[in-house]
Structure formats: C-alpha cells, structure tokens
Structure 1
Amino acid sequence: MSKLYFIKNTGSDYDKLGKDALKLLKIIVSETGHRFEKEVPIKVHFGEKGNKTFIPPKCYDATINYLKEKGVSPFYIESNVLYRGSRTTTELHLETAKIHGFTQIPIIIADGDIGTEYDEIEINKDYISKCKIGKEYRKYKQFIVMSHFKGHVEAGFGGSLKQLGMGFASRAGKMEQHSGISPVVNSEKCISCGICVKKCNYGAIQTTVTAEIDDSKCVGCAGCIAVCPQGAIKNTWGGSNFLEKLSEYAYGASKDKDIIYITFVHNITKECDCAGTHMKPIAGNIGILAGKDPVAMDTACLDLVQKSSGEKLFEKGRPSLIHAEKIGMGTMEYELVEVNNM
C-alpha cells in the first residue's frame, strides 16, 4: 500500500493552489529524506493554444521559489506532440509556452526540434520491448512530475501515468503507443514538395506523383508529420492495446528515476489540455495529491472524482492502472492522508 498526501481545495485561487502543492512537496521531502540534486526538471503540460483549463504557471511559482531557495536550478521539461498543432515543433512549443505564461524558468524540449531525438529504454514488457524516450530525459535522475487530472478521449483520463508515458516519449514513442505503424499520406493534400524526403533520416520516403512511405524502412519517428507544410502526412490513431502501451511507456520513462508526483484535481474537463479549445469543467474542484507512486496517485484521483461526481467518470482508463500494477510499476492500494490546508 502506498501513502499519499491530500489537501482538499475546491477554490480557484491559483496562488493558494501553488502554496498547497508546495506544502505537500515539503511533506514528501521530510517523510522520505529526499535530497535534491543541483538541477531538477519539472514536468508540466503547457496547454495547447486555445485551451483555457490547463494548470496555469502561477500554480508552480511556490515550488520553483522553494527549489531556488535550496540552491537548486529548476527548469521545465516537455516533449513535442505527435499531432499537428501549436506544440508540434520546438519553435512552436516554446512560443505556446510563452503565450501561456511559462516564463519563470528555462524550458527544455527533450526530443529535439521536430521530436525525432530519443534514447531507447529497454523494458521487455507485454507490448513494448524498448521505449523511445526523449533524449534529454536521460541526463537527469530526479524529476518533479506535476500533473493535471482530467479526461482524455483515448486514455480515459490524464494524470501521472500519462505525464510519463506520453510526456516523456518522443514522437516515435507516442506513435508506437497510438498505432505502431507508419504514417499515411493523403494524396489529395500532398504537393510532392520533397521536404519529407530530405528530413527522413532512414530513406523511407520517395516522391513520384505524391510522397510514398516504405513501411519496411520507416521506424515510425513521425518527423515527416512535423515538417509537412500541407499537413498531408498523418498518424492513423488506429492501434490496439493503447492503455497497456501507455502504462508500459510510463514504466520505461520512470525506470531508474527518482520522481515526486504532484497532481492538481482541478478544472476537470472531459478532454485533455491538448484540446485547443475552451472547455467547461464537468466536475467540481477537489484538491491536490502528492506521493511517490504514480499508480496509486492516478487510482486515488480517479476514485475521488468518481466519488465527488457520483458518476463513473473516466472509468475507461482504469485498465491502464491494472496493467501498470501488473508490470510492477506501483500499486492501486493506497492510504490517503488528508493534510490541513490552512
């Protein structure tokens, strides 16, 4: 059974939320004897352009200031997304982060300019043998993973596991989880400009009337999706066992890492912060959780949301928790210790 700490906070004061998050962080540090290294990456989600319900930067200020006071150099770390949007490339990603106010500390986009730079982490689980994790993550042993618990169209919900599985994965890793196959070319959109051919490091693309992808050579890095000016190359999103693959990537992302997890159960929307549109919350604000076990964290968040709403919200995602526990990533059994928020 994993011990988790919880502060009930149903308000919308982001400064207070940030201070409550820090209070939980300090408890974890004290209880575990945690010692910070000189540099500590903070894994967050900057929100897609147009999204209004992502966790705002003000919620991280207290933690950032605390780390600096302890002589630690904090910075944000993220990876580029698979789909075409405002965070597809590093240039766009950094611009979006700036627009959304994430300017307190430096930002590292871990998988390179177009998301194709990664390390392979061997895990040999049921569906994934090697995880393709953004290359910059290997440099750091410690992380603070700060998540927003909300819905997700395919994962059921997004929380600690998704922050690891998708958030640490390179574009190739994201693609492996979603489909495991080569991208496809929309011949009606393709203008045979050859940019994808020049950018492909594996000689997997050639152009005739339109671009053509050789499945036998394609490694699924999805770089062509990022550089196509017409948006003619797409992932099919048609893979099987997505939830299990997500859990296995989360396992690979956290392998040999020392991670503290903090999750905001606020602004609970039907879809995730990758949706570039304003969404209305579908459940009330609940509070903040912290712990060292991401499986227990997500299980507790899911249970709290369902108990508060009286509905089986996001139940689609529970198999990811079951599989994560099965492969030894953590436990779904938890003790929830409520902390006074005064």
Structure 2
Amino acid sequence: MGKSKVYFTNMHATIKENLPQKLRRLIKTAGIGQIDFDRKFTAIKIHFGEPGNLAYLRPNYAKTVADVVKELGGKPFLTDCNTLYVGGRKNALDHLSSAYVNGFSLLSTGCHIIIADGLKGTDEALVPVKNGEYVKEAKIGQAVMDADVFISLSHFKGHESTGFGGTLKNIGMGCGSRAGKMEMHSSGKPHVSHSKCVGCGTCIKNCAHDAITLKDHKATIDHNKCVGCGRCIGVCPMDAVQPASDESNDILNKKIAEYSAAVLYGRPNFHISLVIDVSPYCDCHSENDIPIVPDVGMFASFDPVALDVACADAVNRQSVIKGSILEKNGHKHQDYFTDVSPETNWRVAIDHAVKLNLGNKEYELITI
C-alpha cells in the first residue's frame, strides 16, 4: 500500500482569503468533490462542545463544510450522539440546547442538527464489525447509519484516556449510542449510586429486561439480566445510575477503531481535522485548560488513520506553550500526549485501525 495523501494548510489569513475560505480551498483541493453527493443525505460528525468548554470548533467551520456539500448537491446535517456521562449532552433535548448555546443552529451553519441516537440515546443500528477482535456488532446512532455519505469534522486535542482525540475518536466513540459507548468504556454493566437514588422507579419502568428492582427504596441492577443498553442511565432524574469504567485504555482504543470501522465501511467518507486550541483534555469537559502547543493548522484526507498520524506528528513538532500542563509535566517521552496523560498510548488505536484496513499510517503531507 502506498502512502496516503494528507492535505494541510496553516492558520495564516490574508485580506484575500480568511480562514473559512481557506478551509473551503483545503477540502476541495483534497478531493471532496470526487464524492457523489447528488441528493445524498450527508452526516457531518462534529462535537458541539460541553457547555463551559471554549475549545470546541466554532460553528463557522461547520458552515463551510456544509456549504461545500450543498454546492455539490448533497443534503448535509450536523450530528453527534448523546453522552454516557452526566453533563449537558446526555439526552437529545439537553444536547440540542447545548449546541444552541455554543452557537450551532440552522441559521449559523446552514444545515439542521440531528442527534443521531435519539431522545434517550437508544435509537441505534446494530452494525457488524468485520474481523472485530473485541466488538462483533457495533451499536451506532441510527441517523449516522441512515446517511449516504459520512464526513468527520474533528477538533484535534489531548485526551486523558486515548492520548488524543482526533478523527478515530470523533468517529468511533462519537457515533456510538449510549449502549455502544458503554461497550467501549466497560466490560461490565451499570450500577446504582445508592446515595443519589431516591427510589422513584423511573429506571424500573424503562428497563425492558426486568433487571432492576427496588430494595429498601433503592434501585438495584441484576447484572445477570442486564443487557447493558444504558437506557436506565439516560432516564434517571437524579443521575444515580452510573456506567462502569473498567476497560483498559489500550482495549478502549482498539474498540474505538472497531466502532470506526463499523461507521465507515461500505460508503463514501471524507475527514477533516483542525489542530487548533490543542487543549490537554477532551471537549467533553465543561472546562478547558490553556493549549499545550500553538495552533498548527487544518488537515484533510480520505484516510482517517493517516490523518490522525499526521496531526499527532505535527503537534509533536511544535514548541511547548509556557505555563501549560505539558510544560508542568515535562516532555521526556518524545510524545506530548503521553507526557500529558502517561497512562495512554494512542498508537494502539492507529495500529489496530491499520489491521482493520481502515487506512494507512504512512502518509504524504501536501501543503497548500
């Protein structure tokens, strides 16, 4: 297999070309027009940002991508799936409200927003994973799988569990339904924090497998009956039902690669990653620390694996920002993401994705 092409442009702008225009030129030069968009529903997978976090991608970038898709005859929509954890995006209504707060709307982006796994995170498609080592049938948000074309628009930054959050993380973890996210994070089942449980019984009414009962006015989950669908997590008004988080980071990375394969196999896809505001941790946090390196630029490719590797290499070539967590931790590992989160190894996901024929880690960087 030859080297994959990854296209790059920096963040310098001129009077003749601003950053949205530069992004437009980047993705068109990278070949997005090779895809047949004619009357095709096109999912643009993005992270809308947890309220309070200001490192997420501005909606202006999403509008640029959506406009190009429309010019090519497509029917774009912005999408993401609900979160597994407590926060501003745990159900579709809160998720949409958070997106609006952070500036995403039909008026600002030129396309609609669809939360792919529905109101409570249970609208999912079961997608076989060919040659999956850990996942045989991925649970993907239904609207993602209903789309004819898939585009990922990722904010490249650090991540405390996977090393960095880039294209594969945006696709694999981001497109998993609540049950899918639980499968990636855990080999176990959810449990109830009795200190938070008020015995309201909402979880019991929403369990299709009779796995939850009340004992001493507190909910208890029978793991022999529980199938791990995560519905109880979404409906609990007290956030008392909590997922397990007992999978190693390496296995988590491999499962993310397998979920990415489920999303991408069998349909046209294209990938964009912006290496800006490179915060040390995920945009799922309701806060963000100062970036660990200066802004690098915008990248695009048909190969999600090569794209992630190119972005990681670019970050590792940058100078360290003074006062950042990276400077405080020191950088002795020759890899900034390991320096920030020493228990992680992002190369596990890359190597596993290559094994799954998702892409190539050898790339040719083409600067425009």
Normalised-by-shorter TM-score class: over 0.9
Structure 2 counterpart of 1:243, one-letter code: N
- Residue 183 (structure 1) aligned with residue 209 (structure 2): no
Structural mapping, 1:128-167, within 5 Å:
128-167=135-174
Q: Distance in 2 between matches of 1:234 and 1:299?
A: 33
The counterpart of 1:60, out of the listed 42, 59, 62, is 62
Partner of 1:213: 221
Q: Distance in 1 between matches of 2:318 and 2:13?
A: 15
Deviations 1:192-221 (A, max 9, x none): 110001111222211122111111221212
The secondary structure found in structure 2 opposite 1:59 is helix
The structure whose RCO (Cα within 8 Å, separation 6+) is larger is 1
Partner of 2:273: 263
Structural mapping, 1:1-342, within 5 Å:
1-9=3-11, 16-29=18-31, 33-38=34-39, 39-103=41-105, 104=109, 105-123=111-129, 124-209=131-216, 210-240=218-248, 241-309=251-319, 311=331, 312-315=335-338, 316-339=345-368
Q: Distance in 1 between matches of 2:206 and 2:19?
A: 44
Residues paired across the two proteins, number: 337
Structure 2 counterpart of 1:114, one-letter code: K
CA contact (8 A) 1:169 1:253 kept: no
- The TM-score normalised by the length of structure 2 is 0.87
Partner of 2:327: none
What is the Cα deviation at residue 16 of structure 1?
Answer: 2.9
Q: Distance in 1 between matches of 2:276 and 2:309?
A: 16
Q: Quick check: 58-67 or 210-219, which moved more?
A: 58-67
Partner of 2:328: none
The secondary structure found in structure 2 opposite 1:308 is coil
Q: Distance in 2 between matches of 1:82 and 1:144?
A: 23
Q: Structure 1: which 5+ residue stretches go unaligned?
A: none
Structure 2 counterpart of 1:130, one-letter code: E
Structure 2 counterpart of 1:55, one-letter code: L
Cα pair distance change 1:329/1:65, threshold 3 Å: closer
CA contact (8 A) 2:173 2:259 kept: yes
Cα pair distance change 1:135/1:12, threshold 3 Å: farther
- When the two chains are superposed, the root-mean-square deviation of aligned CA atoms in Å is 1.9
Q: Quick check: 148-157 or 302-311, which moved more?
A: 302-311
Q: Distance in 2 between matches of 1:193 and 1:321?
A: 44
Cα pair distance change 1:205/1:11, threshold 3 Å: farther
Q: Distance in 2 between matches of 1:231 and 1:141?
A: 36
- The TM-score normalised by the length of structure 1 is 0.94
Cα pair distance change 1:98/1:318, threshold 3 Å: same
